[in-house]
């Protein structure tokens, strides 16, 4: 259009003013040149012009048209390209290319007017001025499309990263290698490194693991030399986990982008000397976990095209490393879970050996003659809680199972039942009150209420089995301290189960653990449905001994009874009733004759005082009155309040439901009316 012999097109690259340059997309185009960008062939080399330098740089910076009849007479002209190509530049017309916003996005250059080398005319300038806006539109659209395509490719690559990382979360080395392969693909770099911190909580930055990957696009000789030098030099590994750039990123949490490593004082050139690999540019970013803690750093070295890493590279790498952090963190957590599982497995194995009964004990009770109910007196509501020794309580428990027909009905293996009872006994700690005797006494009272009150005709056999087993297991592994103490002390139990019914959840889980131990499953012959129903009922029974649950449901129970609205066909009514039975048995020491109740009172009071001592000396807290031995003069008043507000209403309601339970209520009234100064009775066991 302007009769030029040759022409060139330079486009602006770099966003910031200090980083802008002009790069040839078409250079030295003439009649015989194929119209392909310089970057389209591997052997072609692009021409890069610094911003503001030479005629092209001047036009780009100032936005002015330059029309020179003789280039060699203009001080801005650089003849280096002429020297390289052997081509003689004479006349030259150079104009800026703008986008729709008026920003300069490139420079077009026409060289040597033909024929005869005359200068470019004013008409030529007008032609180019009319033509270049259309070029600007086309170039801007192409750049937008290229940017959109690039973002699409990067987004797709990040999705592939997510898929990769969350596909493999069992092996740290495998997932880090995937990360490094993906980083090299995304950022087209020669090398990638990942360094993980030894202790993320420590203020001192210390890397414990390092991973290195060289791009396959590096030459085979370079890769071989790098691997040999690294393998032979332990000092290189030391440098990797002690280099100052990585330490700076790990300590500050800020990325570092070094365009020229040898000009940066933080760079240690010793690594290049050791490895034989020349580092030009470094992009290093922190790796965060889901709790926003730095767990390591990732760095890429040397873009394959020789350019430094730009802002777009940094943004992409930071986005990529977010997913990497999650993947690495999940893999580390998985490893910790595996170790925890192994520890738990070992602990359960130890427990099953040390916390289960011996074969000799099982054989002894398996062969023993079991006294009748009448001989043991276990059907008496006023049974003496202290009349049987520890072995006699086992035989009495066996008799209860047989008397209720559970051994026959549920095909319970007798040897398994003996073993289970002995192991349950062994898993009660030697605390003052919440021990095996208390568990047996609660079970005995449940047995007496079921048989005396005739509840066998109302409750199903599955429900009765759940209640009896629940009573025996309801305080398994009790530590002599209540739920409030677990919460105040931040115990492992409170952390594991939370602060609601902490101990009760632990008692149930401990019961399940015993049932799952080899040779202890007394429910082995139940159908799958019966087994599922039974375990649900067992959990309800044990959790019902938490007085918080009792307080939540007793109003509903009292109203149903007072309005004669109890319907045994309604599932919820049956559940409330079973819960009230569990509470009545758990607090049952107050229903026993005075001497039995007094003896139980002394035990529970001593246990409470021990907890109060621990609160005072270990937790540095002032215990409440019922736990404070220094305030024992307040106990009688608290006892009477407890009987009147908690115990008496429950037993009165049960008597309304079944008059055969009246002896229990009568005993509570007698004990309340004693002239002696009363102490806190056993029904305080779960309060506060």
Query: What are the catalytic residues?
Result: 434
Nearest to 684 by CA among 596, 600, 558: 600
Torsion of CA 572, 573, 577, 583, to 10 degrees: 50
Give the C-alpha separation, 217 to 222, whole Å: 10
Report the distance separating Cα 524 and Cα 468, nearest Å: 17
Of the chain, the end-to-end C-alpha distance in Å amounts to 97
* Alpha-carbon separation of residue 115 from 31, 69, 118, 120, 403 (angstroms): 14, 14, 7, 11, 123
- E strand residue ranges, 348-469: none
Longest dimension (CA), the chain: 135
574 close to 544: Cβ distance less than 8 angstroms: no
The pairs formed by 129-136 with CB atoms below 8 angstroms and a separation of 24 or more are 129/65, 129/95, 131/1, 132/95, 132/96, 132/97, 132/98, 132/108, 133/98, 135/97, 135/106, 135/108, 136/97, 136/98, 136/99, 136/100, 136/105, 136/106
What DSSP designation does 68 have? E
| Residue bearing tokens 């020229």 | 260
How many whole angstroms from its chain centre is CA 226?
39
* Residue 584 near residue 654 (C-beta atoms within 8 A): yes
Q: Alpha carbon 327 to chain centroid distance?
A: 12
C-alpha–C-alpha distance, residues 191 and 173, integer Å: 17
- What is the phi/psi pair of residue 504, to 5°? -65, -40
- Please state, in angstroms and as integers, the Cα–Cα distance from residue 400 to each residue in 9, 172, 444, 676, following that order: 100, 56, 8, 36
Q: How far is residue 75's CA from residue 664's CA, in Å, rounded to a whole number?
A: 116
Beta-strand ranges (E) seen in 158-272 are: 189-197, 207-214, 256-258
| Residue 103, phi then psi, degrees to nearest 5 | -80, 140
**Could you give the CA distance from residue 187 to residue 182 in angstroms, rounded to a whole number?**
8
Q: Residue holding tokens 């139980």?
A: 600
The SS3 call for residue 285 is strand
Label the pairing between strands 104-113 and 282-288: unpaired
Q: For residue 677, give both structure tokens.
A: 């100064």
If we measure between CA atoms, which residue out of 216, 291, 282 comes closest to residue 255?
A: 282
Please give the Cα distance from 294 to 346 (Å, whole number): 33
14 burial type by CB count under 10 A (0-12 exposed, 13-18 middle, 19+ buried): middle
Cα–Cα distance for residue pair 658/457, rounded to 1 Å: 13
Distance CA 305, CA 435 (A): 76
């Amino acid at each position: 259009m302007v009769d030029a012999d040759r022409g060139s097109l330079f486009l602006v690259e770099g966003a910031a003013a200090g980083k802008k340059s002009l790069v040839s997309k078409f250079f030295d185009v003439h009649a015989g040149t194929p119209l392909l960008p310089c970057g389209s062939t591997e052997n072609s080399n692009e021409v890069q012009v610094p911003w503001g330098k030479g005629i092209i740089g001047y036009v780009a910076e100032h936005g002015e048209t330059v029309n020179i009849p003789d280039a060699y007479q203009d001080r801005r002209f650089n003849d280096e390209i002429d020297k390289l190509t052997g081509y003689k530049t004479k006349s030259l017309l150079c104009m800026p290319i703008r986008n729709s916003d008026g920003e300069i996005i490139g420079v077009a250059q026409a060289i040597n007017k033909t024929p005869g080398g005359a200068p470019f005319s004013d008409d030529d300038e007008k032609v180019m001025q009319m033509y270049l806006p259309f070029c600007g539109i086309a170039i801007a659209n192409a750049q937008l499309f290229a940017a959109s395509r690039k973002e699409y490719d990067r987004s797709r690559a990040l999705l592939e990263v997510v898929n990769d990382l969350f596909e493999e979360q069992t092996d740290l080395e495998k997932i880090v290698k995937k990360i490094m392969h993906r980083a090299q693909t995304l950022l087209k770099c020669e090398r990638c490194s990942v360094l993980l911190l030894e202790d993320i909580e420590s203020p001192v930055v210390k890397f414990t693991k390092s991973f290195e990957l060289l791009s396959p696009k590096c030459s085979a000789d370079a890769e071989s030399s790098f691997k040999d030098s690294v393998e032979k030099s332990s000092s290189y590994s030391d440098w990797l986990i002690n280099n100052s750039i990585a330490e700076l990123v790990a300590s500050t949490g800020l990325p570092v982008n070094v365009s020229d490593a040898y000009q940066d004082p933080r760079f240690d050139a010793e690594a290049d000397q050791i490895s034989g690999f020349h580092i030009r540019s470094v992009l290093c970013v922190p790796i965060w976990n889901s709790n926003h803690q730095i767990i390591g750093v990732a760095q890429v070295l040397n873009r394959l095209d020789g350019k430094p890493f730009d802002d777009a590279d940094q943004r992409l790498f930071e986005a990529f490393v977010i997913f990497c952090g999650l993947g690495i963190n999940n893999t580390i957590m998985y490893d910790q879970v595996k170790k925890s599982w192994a520890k738990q497995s070992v602990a359960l194995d130890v427990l099953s050996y040390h916390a289960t009964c011996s074969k000799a004990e099982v054989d002894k009770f398996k062969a023993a003659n079991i006294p009748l109910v009448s001989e043991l007196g276990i059907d008496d509501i006023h049974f003496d809680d202290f009349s049987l020794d520890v072995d006699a309580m086992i035989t009495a428990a066996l008799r209860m199972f047989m008397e209720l027909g559970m051994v026959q009905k549920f095909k319970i293996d007798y040897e398994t039942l003996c073993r289970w009872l002995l192991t349950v006994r062994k898993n009660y700690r030697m605390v003052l009150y919440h021990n095996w005797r208390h568990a047996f006494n609660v079970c005995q009272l449940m047995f007496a209420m079921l048989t005396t009150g005739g509840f066998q005709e109302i409750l199903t056999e599955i429900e009765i089995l759940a209640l009896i087993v629940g009573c025996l297991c309801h305080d398994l592994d009790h530590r002599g301290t209540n739920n409030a103490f677990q919460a105040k002390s931040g115990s492992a139990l409170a952390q594991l189960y939370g602060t609601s019914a902490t101990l009760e959840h632990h008692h149930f889980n401990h019961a399940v653990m015993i049932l799952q131990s080899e040779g202890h499953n007394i429910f082995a012959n139940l159908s799958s449905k019966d087994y599922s129903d039974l375990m649900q009922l067992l959990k309800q029974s044990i959790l019902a001994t938490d007085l918080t649950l009792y307080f939540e449901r007793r109003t509903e129970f009292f109203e149903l009874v007072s309005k004669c609205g109890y319907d045994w066909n309604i599932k919820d009514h049956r559940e409330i009733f079973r819960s009230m039975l569990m509470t009545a048995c758990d607090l049952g020491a107050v229903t026993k004759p005075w001497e039995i109740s007094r003896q139980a009172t002394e035990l529970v009071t001593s246990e409470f005082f021990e907890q109060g001592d621990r609160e005072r000396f270990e937790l540095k807290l002032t215990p409440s009155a019922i736990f404070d031995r220094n305030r024992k003069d307040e106990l009688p008043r608290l006892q009477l309040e407890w009987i009147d507000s908690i115990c008496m209403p429950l037993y009165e309601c049960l008597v309304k439901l079944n008059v055969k339970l009246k002896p229990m209520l009568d005993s509570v009234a007698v004990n309340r009316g004693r002239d002696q100064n009363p102490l806190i009775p056993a029904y305080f066991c779960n309060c506060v």
